[in-house]
Amino acid sequence: MASRAVWKGQLRLSLVSIPVEIHSATKSGARVSFRQIHGPSGKRVRYEKTVPGIGPVKTEDILKGYELGDDEYLLLEKDEVDAIKLETKKTLELVQFVGLSEIPPLYYDRPYYVIPTDDLAEDAYRVVRDALRQAEKVGLGQLTMRGKEYLCALRPCGDGILLETLHYADEIKEADPLFNEIADESADEELLEVATQLIDRKTDSFDASAFTDRYDEALRDLIERKRKSKKTPRAKAGDDDGASGENVVDLMAALKESLKKDGGGTKKKSTSRSEKSA
């Protein structure tokens, strides 16, 4: 499935504006996912938005409610919220630069790829990329997507630029209340030496492909064994009267399709899904 941009706009450095697209750098459907099935009927479980005493409600009748306290809410229309005008809805301006190691790891949230939208934008894009690499700096800015303004860090990544959203300071929990309970004593010198030697022996270059999700592999093995067993209960959900609702990728259907394509053998299939707008 072709990657879809989650944001389109201008990457700005001073007076230079570069038209860019931002794409998610991770695949949300790469692991085993399940649908919830009602055992007695074999039907898919749906999620409906309901109101006590009224029942299911239409999406267009739902307002945003800000809690004032004592179960009282200030109601806002969706159009009122959408009307908030922020430059960062269409412009990501690099307003500050910091050293590569200056941002604590706990601030990093999600990675995205930043790409130029056309050939004309590539020259300026390469200049920004190479300048960041040469200066060994990370560019900081903000952009608005999915109904939220994100703090972002941009750095070179191979031939391109990687954007990582950051948590704001008020989103980070204080560590002191948790760490203060740890006794303020130095580690035993002999034990420290042994631990350091173990670390040195196991030190190597980072290679993410050396690690696999063993739980995901075990789930796929379980599914394949259950698929081959005639005793495994099955459900034919059908269209469920055309009802719609939030659910995840139907893994069994994907596995069966993969089996058909390669003549009956097993084949891992990754499904990439675009992020939904809030």
Which pLDDT does position 268 carry in this prediction? 44
Cα(115)–Cα(91) distance, integer angstroms: 14
* pLDDT tens per residue across span 177-223: 888 888 888 888 999 999 999 999 999 988 888 888 788 888 888 88
Q: What angle do helix axes 251-261 and 214-228 make, rounded to 10 degrees? A: 70
Q: Which amino acid is at 79?
A: D
Cβ 24 vs Cβ 112: under 8 Å? yes
Q: What is the mean pLDDT of residues 125-136?
A: 95
Is pLDDT of 269 > 60?
no
More confident position, 259 or 164: 164
Here the tokens at position 175 are 């560590």
pLDDT tens track for 19-63? 999 999 998 767 778 888 888 888 888 888 888 888 889 888 888
Q: 275 pLDDT exceeds 50?
A: no
- State how far the Cα of 153 lies from the Cα of 108, in Å rounded to an integer: 9
Contact call for residues 222 and 233 (beta carbons, < 8 A): no
What is residue 9's predicted lDDT score, i.e. its pLDDT?
A: 95
What 3-state class would DSSP assign to 67? strand
Q: For each of the domains in the chain, give its residue range(s) and CATH number, in order of start.
A: 7-28+84-171 (2.40.290.10)
| Pairwise CA distance, residues 150 & 142, whole Å | 5
CB 89 within 8 A of CB 10: no
